[in-house]
Structures are given as structure tokens and as C-alpha cells.
Amino acid sequence: METLVMDRRSITINPVEHALEKYESKMNMIRRRFARKSVFTTFILDPAVNPKLFELFFIYYSGLGKAVTEPARNWINRSADRCGELGFRELGESLFSIGNHEAGRMPLMFKDIRTLVARWNGRFSPKLDAEEIVSSTNALGVRTYTQLREDVTISDMPFLQMAIEYEIERLSAEYGKQWIDQCSLKLVSDAPSPIDLENERKISGSNRTVLHQEQIESLIKSHPEYTSNLIETGEAALEAFDLFIGDCLIIAMAHSSQYI
């Protein structure tokens, strides 16, 4: 506990409270920048986006997304093991609790890419190939996000996975309703086999963000010295997510000229 003297008054600074305030203050600046400038918020959530382009984007987002979501439990559990090896037993247990939930989920990512492609192919030509889309893992956004996850997993601070989970999960909490409304508007209205979004509504409505926030706060209370590392990792996670979104959009735009 540090005490400063100013104008004959003493001000006591609690380093833990200062660290928590620093984390939220810095991350709120980063989140506001994401809200103003990201591809996700400025283009994908734009009500004026062309429905066919949005549907193509959604197909590639869901298809390429398998490469960034399916390994999530492996990253989390390996990071938890690493925490134990490095002497951070409680942090490892917290990570295992994440791994036992649906780790790595991104906002409204439809799991059955074949259904999406079949739905598209029933209305448009040339046809899309679901297997080809899923196997297209060399996109920069995919590589950047998976490399971030892997780098954290093998680092001396594997508990930083908490910052990635928190910031990505927080996107669902903050933008979930807009995202579902956009998908409902752009994907369901004119298709012969509408996409059922009911389960996605339930998932978006469940507030796992609170759990992740509590874990972040607990980590900072235990180890305020890692606050800057958590901020850097949280920022990197948002940047990697938006790069992934941008890649999916670029691929969709490259194909959209054949249909729009």
C-alpha cells in the first residue's frame, strides 16, 4: 500500500484497485475504438449491407470459423496444465472451468456449414463447396488468431487466455442482439430453408461474460503485476478477431460479383 502526501493530505493508493481500474480504463478505450472503426461494427452490422453479400460473408465466417473455435478447448486445457507446471495452480483451475464450458465461441457462428452451403446452392450458381471453405485455413485472420492462442498457450503466462476469452465473449454480450437482428433480417426472410436462430438467441442471452470478468478480476487481485500483459492480450484478441472478420468479408466480396 502506497501513501502519497499532497497539500498536507494523505492519499492511500491500493495497488490492486489501481490495477483493476487500469485494466478497465485501458480496455474501455480499446473497446470504444473497436466500436468506432472495426469491420465488424462499421460494415457487418450496417443495416444497409447487401443481403447476398452478408449471406456469403456469414457462410465463410461460419466455415473458416471452425479453425479458430474447434481448437479452443485444447488451447485452454493445455494452458491450464502449463499454469500448474509454472506454479499458478488456482489460475489453472480457473482455466479448466472455462474449458469445461463452451470455450472459444465467437458471436453467432452457425455450426453446420453444410446446411448454409446447401441453402445457398439451392438458390444460386455457381455452387459453393462446403469442404473447400472449411479447409481454407490459410487466411491471414485465421493464422493470426490461432497463432495468438498458441503463443499464449506455450508462454510463461498461459493464464492470459482469460483475457482472450473475456474480450471475445464480451462481443457476444455487447453486440449479440444487433448481430442476431442482422442475421434474422439478412438470412431468414427469402430463403426456402430458413436458418433457425433460436438456439443462438439462448446462447447469446446466457451471460458467461460475468464469469470471465470475475476470473479476470480475481487474477488481477492475485497478480496485479500482470495487468499490462492482460491489456495487451485483450487488445490483440480484438484485433485478431476483426482481422478474421475482414478476411471473411474480403473472400465474400471476391465471390459476390458472380451473384450480385
Q: What pLDDT does 134 receive?
A: 87
Q: Of residues 103 and 250, which shows the higher confidence score?
A: 250
**Per residue in 45-81, pLDDT tens?**
999 999 999 999 999 998 998 888 888 889 999 999 9
Beta-strand relationship, 9-13 and 2-6: antiparallel
- Kindly report the pTM of this predicted structure: 0.85
Query: Using an 8 Å Cβ cutoff, are 60 and 252 in contact?
Result: yes
**Per residue in 169-220, pLDDT tens?**
889 888 988 988 898 888 865 555 555 555 555 555 456 777 788 888 888 9
Q: Among 1.20.910.10, 3.40.50.2000, 3.40.50.300, 3.90.1150.10, name the CATH number for the domain at 16-256.
A: 1.20.910.10
**Per residue in 18-51, pLDDT tens?**
777 889 999 999 999 999 999 999 999 999 999 9
For the chain, give the percent of residues with pLDDT over 90. 45
User: How many other C-beta atoms can be found within 10 angstroms of the C-beta atom of residue 129?
Assistant: 12
Percent helix, strand and coil across the chain, each to the nearest 5: 70, 5, 25
